Homo-oligomer: A and B are copies of this chain.
């Protein structure tokens, strides 16, 4: 664990401060995802949902050669036919966060009888304490920032006489969003017939587990396959007392009942100040933060702030899982898995029919990565071998402007190139000459492409600029599909759009192989 921690203090106007706090919160190492695939209609209209799921089941039967009728019936009744092989379920997922939810949806689509065990709230950190409410707050802060930036507004010819905000209104927007999405999720799982089992899930042995309060009332069930999807919790370094009011983690940040005038954001980094102790505010006294020199361990200063947000990372949550019952030892807290998310025991052997996805395995602590891993596991247990290419998974940070990335960083690419003996090239384009960005007075930003000039392979793309979190998908799709630069550079982009930044990026790369002709198709008559 990293013990040297950087400390940043912010003291602008109250509103700007709140924006900073939430931005930073959104940049915790766990941007998280909630896959809604095929959920919307289910959540909003039960009838449509049943139709949709039965149609899917029907389609799948073309391959599985099992009876359409029984599957459709099963889809209407619950989720798939009774488990084959005498198990209570084909698949039991421990944890109904983003990863578990994505896996459950795909399992139903594949006709698996599925249950999900949740010991807290459906939606997990992402929906309830993470990216969902924080995005609501970011939307507010973005608008507030603009309203208060007189120079920016004037450059558009706009005048704003007075702008304020209502703390409760802002908080309501975030809470309403979280609650709406949590309900959508729960309803959709129910509509698709996934059994939601309440309590802590504990693995008793291969293909066997229990759930409940951890007492004699627990129910024992069997499953052909089990997925651990228990996620993570905020990591609080030793010596910090979190009171949830003045010294908080991201779990509390979204529920703060006051707007602190001064807030310290404590995040990991490499600055030469080590932070050792935080005392919460008490009896009218402020939060005390002692700063110690990282090298000499000498005290340097004491800071007094109204609140401190501890954003020093996240730790896997595996409490009560019963890993000891199957001889699995965590590594730095994480459940060890192979590239197919199969759990590895203390002897280095695969635990049969046990998988772990998402933050708990530590492979890539992003919600949409958890969901993708879940889908990959379901593909496998349905008989299709599948290995997820993590280098094609995009990541986004919802700062202003946004940051996004996919694949390797430049140092990673150069290290790989050194090892495997190929050349690495870099291309860059700017938002400064993008018509749409300039029209919006948002010309700050750039995009960077890391690639192999010998064969046009895209190794990584990094974007910093307006809508970067959306723009990255052209690049991540290209990596996922193995599309080379000499092909994608001929894909036409609408004008005037921000996506032209990517178009220019691909066009400006210098690939040594000829243009492929995959995009040169005759115009249909």
Contacts and interface: CB of A to CB of B under 8 A. Distances in A.
A76 interface: no
A416 interface: yes
A300 interface: no
Interface residues of A, number: 136
A508 B38 contact: yes
A375 interface: yes
Contact of A52 (B35, B44, B482, B508): B508
Given A470-B498, A473-B493, 5 more contacts: A132-B496, A156-B169, A158-B170, A367-B495, A368-B494
Nearest to A367: B495
A521 B481 CA distance: 10
A521 B387 contact: yes
Interface in A150-184: 153-173, 177, 180-181, 184
Interface string A495-525: 1111110111001101110110111111110
Contact of A156 (B143, B389, B498, B499): B143
A515 to B, nearest CB: 6
Contacts of A177: 435, 438-439
Nearest to A428: B41
Contact of A467 (B59, B470, B512): B470
Given A140-B156, A160-B162, A384-B515, A181 B438 contact: yes
Contact of A473 (B163, B180, B368, B502): B502
18 contacts: A35-B495, A59-B512, A98-B495, A140-B156, A143-B153, A147-B160, A160-B160, A160-B163, A161-B161, A181-B433, A389-B519, A394-B494, A396-B497, A470-B471, A473-B497, A477-B477, A477-B478, A482-B518
A126 interface: yes
Contacts of A181: 433, 435, 438
B474 A473 contact: yes
A241 interface: no
A199 to B, nearest CB: 27
Contact of A36 (B385, B504, B518): B504
A521 B379 CA distance: 14
B34 A435 contact: yes
A482 B482 CA distance: 12
A358 to B, nearest CB: 12
A24 interface: no
